[in-house]
Amino acid sequence: MRARGKRGAIVVLLAGCILGIYLAKVLHRGFKVPYVQTQLVWSIGIYAGKSPFNLVSPPGVKNPVLTPKDVTDVPASSLADPFMVLENGQWHLFMEVLNRQSKKGEIGLATSKDGKTWRYQQIVLAELFRLAFPYVFKADGGYYMIPDTTQSYAVRLYRAVEFPGKWALAGILLPQALANPCLIQYSGKWWLFGCRMAGQQDIKMGSFLEVFFADNLLGPYVRHPKSPVASGPHFSRPGGRVIDFGGRLVRYAQDTRQLHALEITKLTPEDYEEKEIPLEPPLRDQGRGWNGKGLGTVDPHPLADGTWIACVDGQDRVLEFDWK
């Protein structure tokens, strides 16, 4: 009985301490009332597998590996659209950081030695307009980035002045808004993919995958005669890097819930054909877990042992504590 009474006293004491802290915060904030709400939040994870179509959370990785709480230089509410490259034995991951204060996306950087444990570094690129989908790639011995800059009504290409932390505008590739632009060099030409929205930037309003090509990275780019090559909510918005998988050119597309993979079976200045490749879970909607409310971007890379590693993003509903 005496032990039970002692435990009861401890519980009462702890409850009193919690109540005291609560009242102190209320007084400090001018009698504002705290409340808890749920918020849809994007975070970033790492997947691995034997192919870029069958990727899972690997052993030793606790997903998500990066959340808004890891951002140290700006107040972040979401992390999305990850792309990564391996340079000098270190992975560099670029992502959209939604700045809670400025209400716009900025490009952040995280690094990792093993691809499993990640450390956020800093914002490396910010503009007066929203930046997203930092598609980064290597060309001509240097690094380039073609982020989503639809709010500027142009497709803008940046180059790394000092990789990975300093970027400068290299040129305007197209004077029009294209969501989630992707670039790849193939068969002697540069191919540019991007999603044109009908009306507002809402995939439900109608979307179309446009394709352009050029002889040089900086253009000029010519619209493909078969463009748009896809339309609708499932296949028209790019959802990751365009990859060469054993001689097969593969692109990813995103909708509001899951990812799709499509093999480009014919790509010439005159013709374009593609077909869907089945994806295995969890790249398709799972309805649970850290990415149970949505999947948006995947960036797969081959490793020396023949396996693949990929950074992915996912959306989940989380509790958020705030003050009225």
User: Pairing state of beta strands 119-125 and 104-112?
Assistant: antiparallel
Q: Which helix (H) or strand (E) holds 163?
A: none
Helix-strand-coil percent breakdown of the chain, rounded to 5? 10, 55, 35
- pLDDT tens-digit profile, the chain (324 residues): 455 566 666 656 666 666 666 555 556 555 555 555 678 899 999 999 999 999 999 999 999 999 999 999 999 999 999 999 999 999 999 999 999 999 999 999 999 999 999 999 999 999 999 999 999 999 999 999 999 999 999 999 999 999 999 999 999 999 999 999 999 999 999 999 999 986 544 445 579 999 999 999 999 999 999 999 999 888 999 999 999 999 999 999 998 778 999 999 999 999 999 999 998 877 876 678 899 888 899 999 999 999 999 999 999 987 665 544
Burial class (CB in 10 A: 0-12, 13-18, 19+), 116: middle
- Cis (ω within 30 of 0) for the bond into 228? yes
User: How far is the C-alpha of 311 from the C-alpha of 240, rounded, in Å?
Assistant: 10
- The CA-CA-CA angle for residues 7, 14, 12, to 5°, reads 55
Helix (H), strand (E) at residue 277: strand 272-277
Cβ(192)–Cβ(216) under 8 Å? no
Helix (H, G, I), strand (E, B) or coil at 98: strand
What is the pLDDT, as a whole number, of residue 196?
Answer: 95
Note the pLDDT of residue 19.
61
Question: For residue 10, what pLDDT is reported?
Answer: 66
CA-CA distance, 199 to 218, in Å (whole number)?
Answer: 28
> Structural domain boundaries of the chain?
1-32, 36-69+149-323
pTM of the model: 0.86
Token pair listed for 150:
């639809």
Q: What is the pLDDT of residue 183?
A: 98
Q: What is the pLDDT of residue 4?
A: 57
Tell me how far apart the alpha carbons of residues 210 and 237 are, in angstroms, rounded to a whole number: 10
> Tell me, what's the pLDDT at 136?
98
**Long-range CB contacts (< 8 A, 24+ apart) of 29-35?**
29/323, 32/323, 32/324, 33/323, 33/324, 34/321, 34/322, 34/323, 34/324, 35/321, 35/322, 35/323, 35/324
Residue 240's identity, in one-letter code, is G
User: Phi/psi zone of residue 222: left (φ > 0), alpha (ψ -120 to 50 degrees), beta?
Assistant: beta
As to burial, measured by CB atoms within 10 angstroms (0-12 exposed, 13-18 middle, 19+ buried), residue 154 is: middle
